[in-house]
Each structure stands twice: as structure tokens, then as C-alpha cells.
Amino acid sequence: MTSETPGTGTSRIEVTNVSCHGFWLWLDGEEVFLPFDRFPWFRDASIREIAAVEWPSPNHLYWPALDVDLAVESVRHPDRYPLVSRAPRATPAASGRRP
């Protein structure tokens, strides 16, 4: 059995840093920043939830604890995907209030 050369990383995907503005994600040799204003699903998540990222297929990232799926392309080039999710507004029926 052979081991990797000391100092050589073996992770294809890893959260490398988290700040109040977003987090950095290492994707197979490339580091990308996911700002919370463009990726709001992560804003209130714990570091443990953010760090538990999976890369189940070449074009798909998944955070199981948050039930968030993202295309790798949207993470690498967020400017090409300008739509940002908004929290749904509470409707009178959903909030228990009468109209």
C-alpha cells in the first residue's frame, strides 16, 4: 500500500474558511467564494452544516443537513446565474391571521 506524498491534499471538496460574509469552498484544486448575499440558504446555517458538503456527481453539490442542491457551474460563475432565492412571504392563511 502506498500513501500520498506528505503535504499533498486528498480532498476534492472542502470548506476552507467561513466569515460573516460567506464561505470559501475548495473544489478539486480551485477555491471559490460563496457570499451569503448570493447564496442566502447558508446565512443562518452552522459551520457544521456548511462543512458537511457532498459532491455526488461532477455537476452537483449537496448539503444534506440543509437540503441545498447547487450546480457546480453556479458556484464557479454566480454572475451567470443572477436569480437569488428569497424567503417566502407569510400569507394570511399560513400565519394564522385572517385577511
Among 22-26, 63-67, 75-79, 83-87, the minimum mean pLDDT is found in 83-87
Q: Given a cut of 70, is residue 90 above it in pLDDT?
A: no
- Among 32, 81, 83, 84, which residue's Cα sits nearest to residue 55? 32
Question: Which three three-digit cell numbers place residue 72?
Answer: 457546480
Map out the domains of the chain as residue ranges: 13-80
Q: Per-residue pLDDT tens for 22-34?
A: 999 999 899 999 9
> How many Cα atoms occupy the beta-carbon half-sphere of 34 within 13 Å?
27
State the pairing for strand pair 30-35/54-57.
unpaired
Q: In the chain, what is the greatest distance between 2 CA atoms, to the nearest angstrom? A: 69
Q: Per-residue pLDDT tens for 37-59?
A: 999 999 999 999 999 999 999 99
The CATH number assigned to the domain with range 13-80 reads 3.30.2020
* CA pair distance 2, 7, nearest whole angstrom: 15
